[in-house]
Chain A
């Protein structure tokens, strides 16, 4: 019969249409604006209305999500200590070359000091690839999760804008942070053990 295929297709749309009500009823009151409702709508069992009601509810971003990079600083008793040593690996590895770093040098000796005097990221060039954070040996530059940065002008980030505390980093990337913390701790312990061994040797 001519038109059977069309009817079959329309059956599919009808089923989908009915499904939206069935699913709404099943999840009565909990389907929207709740975390489990949102998880359901983005799971393999999702049926019915698929929409995420941004900005009222936001799709949680996964830990690995990357947007624009930021610089991590540790909050210590002596004040904020930036992890960046301005070694320049991120600037070298950056594919579109959007990272500019000015190295600090000691005004007296003229020798380089391990902290950046200036650090600029041109967000209008950055391709969010994450290579800078992947190859940073000091865990100093990391990819941010904050994507709500639309503005009325071009965006260039300076050192001040890029600095964010280590606690923020631990919050957005808990798993990565714990792995890195453990690695750093192991490294420090090994260093301490070595120093102790050396001290013991010297004492002998």
Chain B
């Protein structure tokens, strides 16, 4: 850890104290801690998952960013890397996993499919992007993004974490954080927010 990342500008450290003392802000040290140990959820969906594995493997090795601890349990994960096509059959599971992750949590949509449906968008079993289900922080285009492109996205996520302030982050605000309603598998995927509209349409017909 170099001083320049942590030292807060605006305070002069006397020469004889250089390298001994650091002056920083709460936000900086809080974000520095979080951005350096973003644990991803071990969760692969499709083609992009293979590139995600390659990113975790020795050549690209995202443990250099403190991300190698892939957790199979959502309870221990900080980041969900949605790596691949989100299908309707899988949608309830993804939302459930997201809800089970503790705050602070981040979502990276890896690849075209997770970002906006991708080449399979027109398919009857495909959700047009995971942002239809859960909020997404970083989008990584590409089909599939190469490991270096993915790391570029992960660096973007770290930059995003750097901009957050402990006073404003949603998980320290008053009140409960609402869980995302889980979609239901009916004759087609049913988003709970649509239920009144579907009910009215059914009546008219």
Query: Which residues of A are interface residues toward B (Cβ below 8 A)?
Result: 49-55, 58-59, 67-68, 95-96, 122-128, 147-155
Given A59-B148, A147-B142, A149-B141: A155 and B155 interface contact (C-beta under 8 Å): no
CA distance A155 to B60 in the complex (A): 25
Q: Name the residue in B58, B112, B122 with the highest tally of chain A Cβ atoms < 10 Å from its Cβ.
A: B112
Q: Are B118 and A124 in contact (CB under 8 A)?
A: yes
Q: Which of B118, B131, B153 contacts A96 (CB 8 A)?
A: B118
> Can you identify 11 A-B contacts, CB atoms within 8 angstroms?
A51-B58, A52-B60, A58-B148, A96-B121, A123-B115, A125-B119, A147-B142, A147-B149, A152-B139, A152-B156, A154-B116
Nearest CB on A from B193, distance (A): 20
Q: Is B160 an interface position by the 8 A CB rule?
A: yes
Interchain CB contact under 8 A, B142 and A124: no
Interface positions of B (Cβ within 8 A of A): 58-61, 64, 112, 115-122, 129, 131, 137-143, 145-149, 151-153, 155-156, 160
**B131 contacts across to A, CB distance below 8 A:** 154
Expressed in whole angstroms, the minimum distance between the Cβ of A51 and any Cβ of chain B is 5
Residue in B closest to A122 when the chains form the complex, CB atoms: B116
Answer whether A125 and B137 are a contact pair too, CB < 8 Å, given A50-B59, A147-B145. no
Complex: A126 Cα to B156 Cα, angstroms = 21
Q: Are B138 and A150 in contact (CB under 8 A)?
A: yes
Closest to A58 in B: B148
In the complex, are the beta carbons of A152 and B112 less than 8 A apart?
no
Given the known interface contacts A127-B118, A150-B141, the answer about A55 and B155 at a Cβ–Cβ threshold of 8 Å is: yes
In the bound complex, how far is the Cα of B119 from the Cα of A22, in angstroms? 46
Whether the pair A55, B152 counts as a contact (CB closer than 8 A) is yes
| Given A54-B60, A68-B142, 11 further pairs, Cβ under 8 A | A50-B59, A52-B60, A59-B148, A125-B121, A126-B143, A147-B142, A148-B149, A150-B141, A152-B138, A152-B156, A154-B131
A196–B119 CA distance with the chains assembled, in angstroms: 49
Question: In whole angstroms, how far apart are the Cα atoms of A51 and B59 in the complex?
Answer: 4
Known: A68-B141, A96-B121, A150-B139. A125 touches B151 (CB 8 A): no
Chain A: minimal CB distance from B200 (Å): 30
Which B residues lie within 8 Å of A124 (CB)? 112, 115-118, 129, 139, 141
